[in-house]
Amino acid sequence: MKKVIIPITLIALIMTTACYFIVTDLNNTPKKQEITKENGIDEKLIKEDTAIVIYSNKDEKILNFQSIPSGERYALHISGTTELSDQYGEILSLEQVSIGEIVDVVYSVHNKTIRSIQVSSNTWTYSDISNFSFDHNRKSMSIGDEQYMYADNVVIASGGEIVEMMDINESDILTIKGYNRVITSIIIEKGHGYLRLQNDEYFVGGWIEIGQEMIKPIESEMLLAVPEGDYKVLVSHKGNVGEIDVRINRDKETKVDLSEIEIKEVQKGILAFNIIPSYATLMIDNENHDYLETIEMEYGVHQLSISAPGYKPISNFIKVGAPLANIEIELEEEGNDSSTSNSTSNSTSNSTSSSSTNQSSSSSTSYSYSLSSSSSSSSITTSNTVINASEVKIYIDGPEGAEIYLDGSYMGIAPVSFTKVTGSHAIILRKDGYQTKSYTVFIDNDEKNVTFSFSELLEGSSE
C-alpha cells in the first residue's frame, strides 16, 4: 500500500511545480517583451531616408515623399511629437516645409508616423537661375558654362504643386537642388503669365518692348509668355510710340487694349556709323544704306544687318531712342574665336539699354555700340529657329477648340498644323472660360512630322 501512495504523491508534486512555472512564465512574458523592445527590437521598425517632399496636406497633416536613393514614393503622417527643423537645427513649422525641398526624414515603418524631418545638409542648392537650357536627349541642364545631369524622376515644383518639365519656360527663375552632382528637384520660384494684345491693327508691323525682358515684332492676335512682374510696355510703329504700365501675374492673362494707348508724335534720331571694315554693307530694315553720311531714322526698334567678305556677318536689332547716336561696329574676321566677343557682347547689352534712357528731342545725347557677329542683347528676345523648306509639319491635335500660339504668334484653332520649326519653343493654349496654359517643347531637326496632344485645359478664368 505504501508503494502505491509514494508515486502518486510524487506525480502530484511534479504537476503542481510545473503549473507554477507555466503561470510564472506567462506572467513574466509581457515584461520580457517590453524589456526587449527597450533594448532595440523596436529600432528595427524605424527608418531613415533622404527624400524630396512632393505633396503636403497641412489640414490632415500628411506629407508625401520621393526617396532619392530608391525613387520610391510613400505617404507619412505628422504627429504631435514630430520634430521639424532646418539644416541648422532651427525649428520649422509645417508651412515652411515646401514642395521640392530635400529632407532627411526619420519615421516609423509600423504606423507611418514621422519622428523627425530636417532640411538636408548633405545636398546642394543653386538659386536665382535665369540663364539655363535643357538637353532632354542627354538629360542634362546647362547653367551658364556649367552642365549638370538631372535624374530620371526629377521633381518639378511650381506654386506648391508638382508640374512637368514642359511647364518650365525659358523666362522663369529657378532654384535647383541636387544630390552628388545630379539634379533631383527643380523649383520654379518666379514663373510667367501672359500678355494679350487687343485692337492692335495700327501697330501690326511695328514693335513691342516689354521692359528689358523682350522686344518682338507685333503680329495680329499675339499672346506672349512674359515673366511675372511689373513692366512698362512700349509699342511703336513708323515712329509713333505709345506706352502703358502693366502687371503680369503667374499663370494669368493680362489684356492690353492698344486703342487706349496715347500715341506720341513721330520723333526721329540721327545715326552716325563707323564700321570696320569700311567696305561692309549696311542694311537697316532690309534696305541698303550709305553710312558715309548720317542716317535719319524714326524712334523705335530697327533690324540691322552688316556683312563683308572674310568677316562674320551681324544680324541684330538697334533701338533709336535719342536725337543723336554714334555707332561703332567692328566685324569679327572669320575663323577668329578670340575672347573679344565676350566683351563686345557685354558692351552691346549696356549700350542697348542706355539708348532708350533719353527720348527728349531738346538735348543731343550721343551713345555708342560695339558689335560683333556673336553679340546679342540681353534685353532683346528673338526666335532663332530653323524653318524646314520641306512639307514637314507640326500637328497640334488637342485640346480641341483651343487657340494655339507658337512663341506668341497665333497659329490657329486645334486641331491645327503648321510648318515645322526646330529648336526650343513655347506653345501656348488658350480658350475662353479656361485657364491659359503654356508648354516648352524641343523640336528635333529632322525630316519627320511632330504631333502633340496636350491635356485638356482647366476650367476657370485666366485673367
- Look at residue 181 in the predicted model and tell me its pLDDT: 85
438-454 tens-digit pLDDT: 999 999 888 889 999 99
* Mean of pLDDT values over 24-52: 58
* Mean of pLDDT values over 181-204: 93
| pLDDT exceeds cutoff 70 at 238 | yes
Mean pLDDT over each residue of the chain, to the nearest integer: 81
- Look at residue 151 in the predicted model and tell me its pLDDT: 94
Beta bridge partners of 237: 240
Longest dimension (CA), the chain: 147
- Look at residue 119 in the predicted model and tell me its pLDDT: 94
| pLDDT exceeds cutoff 90 at 368 | no
* Mean of pLDDT values over 169-197: 94
- Look at residue 320 in the predicted model and tell me its pLDDT: 84
| pLDDT exceeds cutoff 90 at 347 | no
Q: Which residues contact 422 (CB under 8 A, 6 or more apart)?
A: 385, 386, 388, 443, 444, 445
- Look at residue 154 in the predicted model and tell me its pLDDT: 96
Range with lowest mean pLDDT among 179-193, 218-232, 321-335: 321-335
| pLDDT exceeds cutoff 90 at 184 | yes
Q: What is the sign of the dihedral through the CA atoms of 203, 204, 207 and 210?
A: positive
298-333 tens-digit pLDDT: 887 888 899 999 999 988 888 887 888 888 899 999
7-19 tens-digit pLDDT: 555 555 555 555 5
Beta bridge partners of 395: 417, 451
Taking alpha carbons only, the member of 437, 103, 387 closest to residue 250 is 437
Which of 135 and 264 is assigned the larger pLDDT?
135
Q: How far apart are CA 264 and CA 385, in angstroms?
A: 34
The neighbour count for residue 174, using CB atoms within 10 Å, is 21
- Look at residue 4 in the predicted model and tell me its pLDDT: 47
- For residue 249, give Cα distances in angstroms to 166, 168, 226: 19, 16, 9
| pLDDT exceeds cutoff 70 at 404 | yes
- Look at residue 241 in the predicted model and tell me its pLDDT: 83
- Look at residue 439 in the predicted model and tell me its pLDDT: 95
| pLDDT exceeds cutoff 90 at 191 | yes
- Give percent above pLDDT 90 in the chain: 52
Range with lowest mean pLDDT among 27-31, 166-170, 405-409: 27-31
pLDDT band at 386 (very low <50, low <70, confident <90, very high): very low
| pLDDT exceeds cutoff 70 at 424 | yes
75-130 tens-digit pLDDT: 999 999 999 999 999 999 999 999 999 999 999 998 999 999 999 988 899 999 99
pLDDT band at 42 (very low <50, low <70, confident <90, very high): low
Which of 297 and 116 is assigned the larger pLDDT?
116
- Look at residue 153 in the predicted model and tell me its pLDDT: 94
pLDDT band at 390 (very low <50, low <70, confident <90, very high): low
User: Which of 284-308 are b and which e, b meaning 16 or more Cβ less than 10 Å from the residue's Cβ?
Assistant: beeeebebeeebebbbbbbbbebeb
| pLDDT exceeds cutoff 70 at 29 | no
C-alpha cell read off for 91: 525649428
H/E segment holding residue 84 = strand 73-85
| pLDDT exceeds cutoff 70 at 65 | yes
- Look at residue 375 in the predicted model and tell me its pLDDT: 35
User: Which of 427-438 are b and which e, b meaning 16 or more Cβ less than 10 Å from the residue's Cβ?
Assistant: bbbbbeebbbbb
- Look at residue 384 in the predicted model and tell me its pLDDT: 43
| pLDDT exceeds cutoff 50 at 340 | no
